[in-house]
């Protein structure tokens, strides 16, 4: 049964507008007000006092949850990966993206209870979640869920590119995951094709692309904070899936956390790992906390520039 009755995937959508789902009541309040004013369609026309009132009600409800569900995040169920998934897990571990992204801290794969994952991201793009759910069968198998969480062979989103000048390029994508990855140095024989004006010595590559986007959580003691794959995790939960294969990175001290966690978790680790009742993934299903807003379709743009200087130096 659909975990979100009444939230059917629309058959036709306004291509210029998407829906975003927010958790109300989570500080800072000024961030929510800025979002409503600057991003939400017709958000500027809404009275700020009304926005504060609905946020306050949700914040009061979280206080109730701190009493009624204290310690719930510490009781998340973590199960061994079924033996039938080990071939997929082995293939994932051999993937170059996995080997590079998870080479610092102790890491394992396990089946985690989705609803009790702690979340630091207070919003998900509901339009994207519904698109993801279109790829799931009515009752997805363990194999299907694994491939959904860890898509090592799925092509990335479309990327547009525009050359603006001799040393500047602009890249765009509907995916907010588009980012500058790294600068790499290549030998000339590693680059095929292209017009060359003379013998090439070395090639500098400026790499734009996407993250691995594997479903990943950070563990400290008994809690798991969702680190990557928020939309996939929520899509599965909304689809009625209770457990999913997750990459778990374990931290034992603040310095390790600072290596891998997002800025929100780095700044307030005690709130996510020690507070009585932090926000959980299941809160996105709670009508007393969630709020759906209409926003313009976002477009992520990466502007890459480089500089060349020619010098003569003494040997």
pLDDT along the chain (315 residues), means of 10: 43 70 92 93 94 96 96 98 97 93 95 98 94 95 97 80 91 85 86 71 85 92 96 97 98 96 95 97 96 90 90 81
What is the pLDDT, as a whole number, of residue 179?
85
What is the pLDDT, as a whole number, of residue 15?
66
Using a cut of 0.75, tell me whether the model's pTM lies above it.
yes
Residue located via tokens 């961030």: 31
Query: E strands of the chain, at which residues?
Result: 17-23, 78-79, 107-113, 123-125, 160-165, 168-173, 179-187, 202-209, 216-220, 223-228, 243-250, 290-296, 300-305
What is the pLDDT, as a whole number, of residue 79?
98
What is the pLDDT, as a whole number, of residue 178?
85
- Alpha carbon distance 273, 195 (integer Å): 55
Domains of the chain in start order, with CATH, are 17-154+212-296 (3.90.1530.10), 160-206 (no CATH)
What is the pLDDT, as a whole number, of residue 3?
47
Q: How many CA atoms lie within 13 A of 139 on its CB side?
A: 1
Find residue 280's DSSP bridge partners.
Answer: 118
The Cα angle at residue 283 between residues 138 and 221, in degrees rounded to 5: 100
Tell me the angle at which helices 142-149 and 230-238 cross, rounded to the nearest 10 degrees.
150
What is the pLDDT, as a whole number, of residue 181?
84
Residue located via tokens 């500058």: 180
What is the pLDDT, as a whole number, of residue 287?
95
Burial of 199 (0-12, 13-18, 19+ CB in 10 A): exposed
Nearest Cα to Cα of residue 279 among 72, 129, 113: 72
In a 3-state reduction of DSSP, which class is residue 74? Answer: helix
Q: What is the pLDDT of residues 188-220, one digit of tens each?
A: 888 776 666 677 788 888 888 887 789 999 999
């Amino acid at each position: 049964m659909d975990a979100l009755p009444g939230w059917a995937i629309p058959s036709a959508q306004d291509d210029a507008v998407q829906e975003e789902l927010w958790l109300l009541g989570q500080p800072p309040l000024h961030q929510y007000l800025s979002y409503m004013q600057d991003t939400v369609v017709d958000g500027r026309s809404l009275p700020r006092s009304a926005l504060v009132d609905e946020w306050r009600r949700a914040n009061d409800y979280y206080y109730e949850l701190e009493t009624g569900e204290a310690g719930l995040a510490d009781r998340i169920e973590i199960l061994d990966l079924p033996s039938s998934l080990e071939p997929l897990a082995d293939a994932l571990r051999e993937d170059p993206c996995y080997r590079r992204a998870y080479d610092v801290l102790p890491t394992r794969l396990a089946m985690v209870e989705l609803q009790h994952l702690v979340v630091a991201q207070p919003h998900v793009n509901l339009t994207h979640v519904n698109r993801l759910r279109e790829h799931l069968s009515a009752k997805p198998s363990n194999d299907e869920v694994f491939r959904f969480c860890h898509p090592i062979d799925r092509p990335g989103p479309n990327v547009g590119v525009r050359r603006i000048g001799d040393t500047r390029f602009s890249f765009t994508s509907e995916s907010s995951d588009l980012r500058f990855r790294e600068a790499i140095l290549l030998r000339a024989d590693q680059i095929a094709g292209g017009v060359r004006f003379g013998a090439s010595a070395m090639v500098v590559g400026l790499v734009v692309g996407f993250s691995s986007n594997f479903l990943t959580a950070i563990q400290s003691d008994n809690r798991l904070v969702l680190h990557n794959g928020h939309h996939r995790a929520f899509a599965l939960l909304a689809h009625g899936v209770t457990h999913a294969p997750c990459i778990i990175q374990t931290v034992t001290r603040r310095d390790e956390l600072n290596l891998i966690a997002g800025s929100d978790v780095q700044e307030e680790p005690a709130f996510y790992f020690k507070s009585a009742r932090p926000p959980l993934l299941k809160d996105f299903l709670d009508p007393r906390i969630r709020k759906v807003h209409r926003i313009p379709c976002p477009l992520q743009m990466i502007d890459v520039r480089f500089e060349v200087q020619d010098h003569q130096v003494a040997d």
